[in-house]
Structure 1
Amino acid sequence: MSWVTLTIDGQTIQVEEGKTVLEVARENGIHIPTLCYHPALEPYGACRLCVVEIIRKGWSSLHTACTHPAWDGLEVKTNSPLVRDVRKTIMGLLLSRCPNVPIIQELAAEYGITAPPFPVEDPTENCILCGLCVRVCNDMVQAHVLNFSGRGVKRQVGPPFMEKTRQCIGCGACTSVCPTGAIEIVLEEAGVYQAKPLGPTAAIYVPTLQAVPRVPVIDTDSCIRFRQQDRTNGAIADACGACQMLCEANAIDFDQEDEFLDLDVGAIVVATGFEMWDATKLSQYSYGKSPNIITGLEFERLSNAGGPTGGEILLADGRKPERVAVIHCVGSRDHNAHEYCSRICCMYSLKQAHLVRDKTGAEVYEFYMDMRAFGKGYEEFYERVQEEGVVMVRGRGAEVEVLPSGKLRVTGEDANLGKLVAADVDMVVLSTAIEAPHDASEVASLFGLGRTPDGFFAEAHPKLRPVETNTDGVFLAGCAQGPKDVPDTVAHAGAAASMALALLGKGEVTISPAIAYVDEQFCSACKTCISLCPYTAIGFVEADNVARVNEALCKGCGTCVATCPAGAITARHFTDAQILAQIEGLFRIPVIEIPNTQYPIPDTQLPPTKESNHER
């Protein structure tokens, strides 16, 4: 490794050979302004704003710091009078081209320019022709959508012929690197807001602040590299890679693939959780038609300190709301959606109303059917929220209308007044239901689990065995079994863990002797029993061409016995001969012989002169 020594503004610095002057300056806290530089792209020197004075062997000259290498013995001045004069001229030109761009105004003010020194042709112009978008689109994304066209004052950036192109994958890389915000992603589907006021979804992120381990993950559906690979069937395999290039720990490996591990375990805890119900299924709430109609989960993201607004509750245009409506039971207790109660909506809606009042002071209207505050301290919190001034409207919010002014009109029933009421608000929060995951049926089939009518997994007994299932060794935890709030989920999960540990601590288990077995000499290898077994206890042995029963999994339900076309399967202790013998014994009429007995008949019944034999 070679090292070079140079001087920047009188400071002697020793660095690795191969770096640019700009990189060395930034590493040592020396500010050099620039608009066209990005560490993931090859230096271009288009804006000329990073110009510095280079002195070498007594000669002085101006160079762009982003492209000039750090040589040994180099002397650099980043803020000399000559440098400031050149930058002032450059900023005057940029301000005259883009007079209303905030970052241009700020940089110009640093050099004493408060108004454009040259005539302004287009006050709405935002593009400074830095070329960052062109380079990121062509060099990194490799979509080749953007490029320069025209010459001189007619030079501009855009797609071919300035028309829409299907080559654009909508990755947003150009918007992320544009220093002036001149590029905007426009959705083709009019009238539907895909982007919520929650910020864009990053392709690489830490799932949660409490994630264990707390490391970033890559979302392959959003990552430019993987999207380009899928779109071109692998023809473009090295698109982007900015994260890998900038990661100092070299922790990113795009060649890693998903792995499937085979593990031998003694117990399984199913904790698949829940999914939030899709509010677009009920069109009367206008979800998706305004960015200010959000779900409860989206509100949680918005109000979180780690969210896109730093915890501030703001509308899509950045203003604080003055009136907010919260609608309960969206998708719950509804014959058109789910008939069950989600159990969590009432309390998180009250919490969100409290946050709105606390952070914005806005008026809050809660449209509810019944307030189910059943937990410890819940009723007290309900009363506290009312004391804070939240207006409680008992009745389901029937409709949300987006007005031409952008306001939202919520119409609903007030059961206490016995009439319809309406409220014009700035924001609507929909307290959506929770439902079983979309792949719950696959999980149920995999582990032999039953499901209740609401789609969640069925426990062995609702009171006596609430965490066990009909499959030994498989336990349920949390909302996999049904809707629960946090305290109930923690308690349920703890019980499931305890049951699993108790099972593992035994070392061995006792199974019922009443199980099925296959008489292999009669098995026709039709595999009918395998597909019908609800406990996946029957497997097929290719070597012997017969079906065999896993005695540890079999529950002796008899399904395979009844359906085997060859009659090769029998249930131990419930053979046909045993069952027929029981039936025969049940219907056999026993013959009981009663002996004749002579005894005197009382005088009150027969004349005293006669005697008679009676047979009992």
Structure 2
Amino acid sequence: MTKKRTGVFVCHCGNNIAATVDVARVAKEMSAEETVVYSQDYVYMCSDPGQNAVIKAIKDNQLDSVVVSCCSPTLHEKTFRDNAIRAGISGFTCEIANIREQCAWVHKDRDLGTEKAIKISRSAVRRAGRNQSLEPIAVPVTRRVMVVGGGIAGIQASLDMANAGLDVILVEKQATLGGHMLQLSETFPTLDCSQCILSPKMVEVSRHPKIKVMTYCEVQEVSGSVGNFKAKILKKPTFVDPDKCKICDDCSKVCPVVVPNEYELGLSARRAIYIPYAQAIPASYTLDESSCLGLNPIRCGKCKDVCEADAIDYDMRPETVVEEVGAIVVATGFDLYPQENIAEYGYGKVEDVLDGLQFERLCSASGATSGHVLRPSDH
């Protein structure tokens, strides 16, 4: 293996580093390292003359790796890697030794600060000695994005990317888009009702020619790599054909099953066959198999009997599809803090103790109490 030829460049950063670190000594100590063939210090290494000095030193001394002892790599790593590229070597052979934030700015003793700067710089030199020249490569990518989560973040991300020309798959595990924002009464700072803001975006995303909306679906598995992912998605059966459903509510009226309404957070009830709320997207009912009296064998069938559109299909089964995407946006939202962890408030035991989202539903004009703040025990 060819011996590395490393150059070390120590920055004064004006007086930021030089006040606490003997930069000339650091540069001299680094010149004694086995792989170092060039070492210098300069008052502002990131300035135009400083950068030109780095480029010239790389060319004149045939350096194949560079260490710059200066400020944080988050500030100027790209700067000096670009210099390495301009000088004809790989940018990945450039290492940054942070002797400003990790040394000069946290120490007052000049001798101790200098010793620490030497150790940090020496570590970077040893690391640079193991670096290999890497070159960026171009790989074909799938120009399609999967967005996981159909709340406001997922909806807006989908619209932004679709309007930029990308194909988008929007996956939502619930029966409708909207997420928790739909449950809010008003939104900051305009105090508009959440549906006034969100409903038009839900309609837009459902009609956008470059967006494929998959509600009542869950991502089961993702394989592949950046640019070329394969996502396995479970499509749960709704037992209702959305293209046929007229949202007439006839099916719900005859359903004998009554369960707590998740959208209203238990403040009202729903039937086993239901639509989460009037403006749901997609505008179609869903038959909750876990609440139904039974589909295999059929123990009721009243909803299908009254459906004039013949939209109800008890034979629907879970389906797994595989979609190829180049990128994945995770916009899965949030859940409330587990109320059982703060048992002293009596949530779940005292009927009138509510959480934040339940209070939002009480305040909402479309909520269980039509916007009247009533205790659950009052009705």
TM-score (norm 1): 0.27
